[in-house]
Amino acid sequence: MTAAQPQRPATVAPAQIVRPYGDTTGDAMVQLSFTLPLPHDKRAEGAALQLAAKMGMEPALLVHAKAMGPDFTFFVVYGSVTHLVDVSAVQVVEREYPLLSAKEVNAAIKARLRRRLVVVGACIGTDAHTVGIDAILNIKGFAGEKGLEYYREMSVVNLGAQVLVPDLVERARAERADAVLVSQVVTQRDAHLHNTAQMAAAFREAYPAGQRPLLVVGGPRFDEGAAERLGVDRVFGRGTTPGEVASYLVHALLPPTQARPSSPRRAAAAERTRP
């Protein structure tokens, strides 16, 4: 009978601690800007320094103060913080699919879907900022990449700005959309979150379970890990390129083989190929 072997502790990734960099390595200096609802005077400047101290900046220097009308003041403060960052504890949404070229995307759609992939895009609610959706859909594209209109195996419908959610659902049904792309730039009072949740609920009500289009939202203030909470399939943040979106559509919608789709979403896309 052999003696029990002691259990080895689980391997834990070593902590990678960093400090902010200002003038010299590790000096923990940061710059922060904010507005206070106070007229510009010495008391307002003192209030700004008090806020900076409560946020962990010690000492804090007031490097800029400017009146914003009679009742507000804009401040920039500079100082060192005591907070440390453990990079090993940072959680991000990793891309789980390969980036494909436009040629590879077209070839995959042609071979595996055997029809054009239909994409409907819009800015919903009161959002009139089309720069995001145009960067992804328009042929001119973004960051040196052509938009989805450039892909010959995609049929793209750009509805533009201030589209009502019921109108978006109706058009998606009429076009037999495989994917619906929504851009939200306006974020006051979390309008982008409320609009996205409303859209997701509308599509759930309008389609049988597992048959709605792929829902993709994007914008500079979205949390990329919030897809499940918002009821959509994917969230893209700032700096997303058309190639990233096109590659994701191939990954999420196209069956890996023609024999049998491997997910309800892919099955729904395959079903739309039938007359």
Is residue 1's pLDDT more than 50?
A: no
Q: Among candidates 35, 33, 40, which has minimal Cα distance to 70?
A: 40
* Token pair 């960052």: residue: 85
- One-letter identity of residue 234: R
Give the whole-angstrom CA distance, residue 165 versus residue 85: 41
* 3-class secondary-structure state, position 261: coil
Is the peptide bond prior to 59 cis by the omega test (within 30 degrees of 0)?
yes
Q: Does residue 119 contact residue 181 with C-beta atoms inside 8 Å?
A: yes
Is residue 269's pLDDT more than 80?
A: no
Residue 41 CB contacts under 8 Å (≥ 6 apart), including other chains: none
- Indicate which residues carry an active-site annotation: 140
Q: How much is the pLDDT for 3?
A: 45
Q: Does residue 185 contact residue 127 with C-beta atoms inside 8 Å?
A: yes
| H-helix or E-strand spanning residue 250 | helix 242-253
Is residue 257's pLDDT more than 70?
A: no
Give the whole-angstrom CA distance, residue 201 versus residue 204: 5
Torsion on CA atoms 223, 225, 227, 230, rounded to nearest 10: -60
Mean pLDDT over 131-145 rounds to: 91
* 3-class secondary-structure state, position 35: strand
pLDDT tens track for 168-190: 999 999 999 999 999 988 777 78
Q: How much is the pLDDT for 270?
A: 57
Q: Where are any strands of DSSP class E within 5-153?
A: 17-18, 29-36, 57-67, 73-81, 85-86, 117-122
Residue 174 CB contacts under 8 Å (≥ 6 apart), including other chains: none
Mean pLDDT over 12-24 rounds to: 80
| Tokens describing residue 221 | 């203030």
The proportion of the chain whose per-residue pLDDT surpasses 70, expressed as a percent, equals 88
Q: Does residue 219 contact residue 190 with C-beta atoms inside 8 Å?
A: no
Lowest-confidence pick of 36-45, 60-69, 249-258? 249-258
Q: Give 2's pLDDT tier (boundaries 50, 70, 90).
A: very low
pTM of the model: 0.74
| Tokens describing residue 55 | 């946020």
Give the whole-angstrom CA distance, residue 251 versus residue 98: 8
| Tokens describing residue 89 | 């504890």
Give the whole-angstrom CA distance, residue 183 versus residue 218: 5
pLDDT tens track for 62-114: 999 999 999 999 999 999 998 889 998 888 878 889 999 999 999 999 999 99
Give the whole-angstrom CA distance, residue 122 versus residue 213: 14
| Tokens describing residue 65 | 């103060």
Relative to beta strand 117-122, strand 154-158 is: parallel
* Token pair 């962990």: residue: 56
Alpha carbon 234 to its chain centroid, in Å, reads 8
